Chains A and B, each alone.
Chain A
Amino acid sequence: QEVTVEVLEHLEHLALVDFRDAEGVERLRKAIRFADLLQEVNTEGVEPMDSVLEDRCLYLREDDVTEGNCTKELLKNAREKVEEYFVAPPGNIPLLKLEEQETFLQGS
């Protein structure tokens, strides 16, 4: 199974990861081949495990107010703020397509 340009673009868009160059893409291919080793194990009739915590009890907390009221501290991390609001761009900024990115990098 090939890692096509469409798949790469899709992944970069979903995860905001930049595979950048041929070396990055090759590393991705190697990672997929490594994970594919899992297919060799016969898991018929075995429930998938999605957490090592599966036997643990899920702790239930009482409905008390114990946190919050730390606006100043939280806003310390913000590059920009307006009157105790975080500031973000107006919407999600769409990523450039792969070809556009290459020409952009070549130009710089």
Chain B
Amino acid sequence: WVPVVGLEVHAQISSNSKLFSGSQVQFAAPPNSLVSFFDASLPGTLPVLNRRCVEAAVMTGLALNCSINKKSLFDRKHYFYADLPAGYQITQQRVPIAVNGTLSYSLYKDNKMSQMVTKTVRIKQIQLEQDSGKSLHDDTRSQTLVDLNRAGVGLMEVVMEPDMCCGEEAAAAVRELQLILQTLGSSQAVMAEGQLRVDANVSVHHRGEPYGVRTEVKNINSIRFLAKAVDYEIERQIEELENGGTILNETRAFDSKLGCTVPMRDKEGKQDYRFMPEPNLPPLILYDAKSLPANINHQQVVNIDWIHERLPDLPSVRRAKLVELYGILPEHSFTLVNEDGLTEFFENVVNQTQMKPKKVIGWILKDLLSYLKQHSLTVKESPVSSVLLADLLNLLEKKEISSTAAKQVLAELWKGEGKSPLEIVKEKKLELMQDQKELEQICQEVIDGQENEVMAIKAGNLKVLNKLIGLVQRKTQGRSNPVVVKQLLEKKLS
């Protein structure tokens, strides 16, 4: 069975005001307070396009390698629903603002977390359209409460071709898109606040045969649930077909509690949207350096080349730069860019310590990040600042403490009691022994006390040496450098 997955992503444009009106865009506000007469669809109102929204769509199109249509058109998509007061949504169905792009994303190969593989998904188009209001269903009183604050907010719909084959790919693609949008600033793309919504189109077929019937899965609230929903739906369809059943071309909702998809009741049959051109809006014309007319009001001009020159470094470029500058692995750069604030933290530590970046990255990714994940904290909420970590790593680099001791100090720092690494080292007496003679004496004591192990080592079993090193560490209460201890023991036993 070959699964086929396509995605439709709606990203709310990060702007002060709405797509066609001057009411404010804000997440939480008293109901119906951010609504103008146009948003409420009162007769006699007209749409006026927000330039910032056009620029956001052009930026996104360029970042996704699309062709920007210098002339694009607006259309009306008709359907009835309480949160769509006009009875139609203004969208771009015939000629959208951007077409034919690509999105590259990376996955861990075979669940190994060690090797990454890069894939691409084609972007069919990006269109500007209005968001609808919000419906709150009150089943007890058999009514729906409608808040139009969200009605008319600008959306970029990114339509991806069905180039993906499973939940993991879909999740990785959306995550990369999210990072790109956040880097551009065209959308804050926070799924939890409804700024990024994903619908998945799923079907299965046998290789060589035509594509199967597809279902649309909605109500996916996080990237994790996206992967689950897609994989569940693929399994469901395969099971249904293997049992001799058929797949209905329907819309299904993902139930996160049960981890399955269920048919959505309100969408009966195929919708006829009766698309028609939006008569109140002339075509949207964009310019570039060549086509820019001489005598034109600059406020009325969106210049594609001007926007292109000012695009920030996209995540893929940032990763490549990190790998080149610091000599870290591509997998490392992925984690750095993926965690909000982690790159900055890492670079701050590197700038404040003599330790090589290749060693620092281990402390960042293995120690710091795992602590943060265990306690569900973001980098910004870390009780250990980059300054403290850098101080600690400097002690380690100067060989004043062992790496085991460093881990102990980090555990103390994590408590956030305001002590410096040096204070903790002194308090817990973790400094490395500087007296070579004393260390040699302890090594000799251990050798004298472990006859059997010594014989095994002299017979060629070198792994037993680690046990002796461990015993020395214990005797010195972790205040010995294992590398030095090994050398001393080897010298004594040769």
A residues with a Cβ closer than 8 A to B are 10, 14, 16, 50-51, 53-71, 74-75, 77, 82-92, 94
Query: Chain B, 204-238, contact with A by CB distance < 8 Å: what is the 0/1 string?
Result: 00000000000000000000000000000000000
Contact of A89 with B21 in the complex, beta carbons under 8 Å? no
Tally A-B pairs: CB < 8 A. 144
Among A58, A87, A88, the residue within 8 A (CB) of B283 is A58
Measured in the bound complex, the distance between the Cα atoms of B48 and A58 in whole Å is 9
Identify which of B143-151, B163-171, B326-334 touches chain A.
B143-151
Interface residues on B, range: 35 or more
Among B22, B49, B144, B280, the residue within 8 A (CB) of A87 is B144
Contact of A87 with B146 in the complex, beta carbons under 8 Å? yes
Among A50, A60, A83, the residue within 8 A (CB) of B299 is A60
Q: Which residue of A lies closest to B145 (CB)?
A: A85
B residues with a Cβ closer than 8 A to A are 15-17, 21-24, 30-38, 40, 42, 48-54, 73, 78, 80-82, 135-139, 142-148, 265-266, 268, 272, 274, 276-277, 279-285, 299-300, 302
Measured in the bound complex, the distance between the Cα atoms of B279 and A14 in whole Å is 20
Measured in the bound complex, the distance between the Cα atoms of B138 and A82 in whole Å is 11
Contact of A58 with B281 in the complex, beta carbons under 8 Å? yes
Q: Which residue of A lies closest to B147 (CB)?
A: A85
Residues of B within 8 A of A57 (CB): 282, 285, 300
Known contacts A10-B272, A60-B302, A71-B33; 12 further A-B pairs (Cβ under 8 A): A14-B78, A50-B277, A57-B282, A61-B22, A65-B17, A67-B37, A68-B23, A70-B37, A85-B147, A87-B146, A88-B143, A90-B137
Contact of B49 with A61 in the complex, beta carbons under 8 Å? yes
Among A58, A61, A88, the residue within 8 A (CB) of B82 is A88
Measured in the bound complex, the distance between the Cα atoms of B33 and A69 in whole Å is 5
Residues of B within 8 A of A64 (CB): 16-17, 22
Measured in the bound complex, the distance between the Cα atoms of B48 and A101 in whole Å is 42
Known: A57-B285, A60-B302. A67 touches B51 (CB 8 A): no
Measured in the bound complex, the distance between the Cα atoms of B46 and A67 in whole Å is 13
Contact of A58 with B284 in the complex, beta carbons under 8 Å? yes
Chain A interface mostly: loop
Among A66, A75, A90, the residue within 8 A (CB) of B17 is A66
Q: Which residue of A lies closest to B269 (CB)?
A: A13
Residues of B within 8 A of A62 (CB): 51-52, 299
Residues of A within 8 A of B266 (CB): 91-92
Tell me how far the C-beta of A67 lies from the nearest C-beta in chain B, rounded to whole angstroms.
4
Residues of B within 8 A of A94 (CB): 268
Known: A63-B16, A66-B22. A54 touches B282 (CB 8 A): yes
Among B146, B147, B300, the residue within 8 A (CB) of A60 is B300
Contact of A54 with B48 in the complex, beta carbons under 8 Å? no
Q: Which residue of B lies closest to A58 (CB)?
A: B282
Tell me how far the C-beta of B451 lies from the nearest C-beta in chain A, rounded to whole angstroms.
82
Contact of B35 with A71 in the complex, beta carbons under 8 Å? yes
Return 6 A-B CB contacts under 8 Å, by A number.
A61-B48, A63-B51, A65-B22, A71-B35, A74-B37, A94-B268
Residues of A within 8 A of B146 (CB): 85-88
